[in-house]
Amino acid sequence: MSRANDRPEGPESFSADDTPPTQPEGALVPPPRKPGWQHRTRFAQFVTEIFNAIDGVADRIAERLGLRQ
């Protein structure tokens, strides 16, 4: 049987002084895109268009149901 005080403390128990230092060379931008598979073949383009169409239909359904604005 384990006692409650045997458990480690949660993240709220750490102070702001315990955080690691920030890196000055760190950029807050997304990494560059790598060449994707989406335009390599006609089949890949076709599949991408199908997924885009399905995504659009799903967005319209969600708007009509009031799930999104």
Question: What string of pLDDT tens digits covers the 69 residues of the chain?
Answer: 555 567 777 766 666 666 777 777 776 777 777 766 555 788 888 888 999 999 999 999 999 998 876
The domain limits of the chain are: 37-69
Whole-number pLDDT of residue 23 = 72
pLDDT at position 53 is 96
Q: Determine which helix (DSSP H) or strand (DSSP E) holds 46, and give its type and residue range.
A: helix 42-64
How would you label 34-44 residue by residue, b for 16+ Cβ within 10 Å and e otherwise?
eeeeeeeeeee
At 5, list the tokens: 């005080």
